Amino acid sequence: MSMPSAEINTESLTKDALSSGKHVFVPYIYKLKQPRQNNLPVSIMDMLQLASEDDYASLQPDKWGIPSILKETVSSRTNSFGGKDLTDGDAPAPDAAGLDVILMPCMAFDQDLNRLGHGKGYYDNFLTRYCSGKTADGQNRKKPFLGMYRRPFSIFPMTTLPSDHKKL
């Protein structure tokens, strides 16, 4: 999903993936039920599955104008961590199928794919949680391919962006 005025429109890519039978998960931001001890912020992001092109068409703009899942439908949706509903900050289940690709918005990125986003850290926190999980055979969860998209004017002539996030 993309901010209508600040990011590349991902509508045709989303529709094409759905019509091709791909599993498409979209961001859903919410407040945790209870504060966590493991440095999670008050609000976090999960990825929830879209069921169809009609489901995609039913998304409603949030306060930033981003097409978003309706709160009433969240509990029936599959999340990208291998369960239904929200994760409430948990790591992926060992038997979760995993994600192949994540398209992440950014203002800029450097040659090491350090990302400069919009400042809330939702994607960075999500990736840290996602990669902290183990697979059913006890291996570290494979990091998905990260496709970062940005507007053309966001290219900066620097080799490294300042970052206080741990490398994944």
pLDDT of residue 65: 82
- Tokens 């998905």 — which residue? 144
- Count of Cβ atoms closer than 10 Å to residue 110 Cβ: 15
> What pTM does this model have?
0.78
Query: Which segments in the chain show pLDDT lower than 70?
Result: 1-7, 35-40, 108-119, 147-168
8 A C-beta contact, residue 81 and residue 90: yes
- Count of Cβ atoms closer than 10 Å to residue 24 Cβ: 20
First to last CA, the chain: 23
Residue 101 dihedral angles phi and psi, to the nearest 5°: -140, 140
Residue 135's identity, in one-letter code, is: T
Report angle CA 166, 152, 59 to the nearest 5 degrees.
Answer: 75
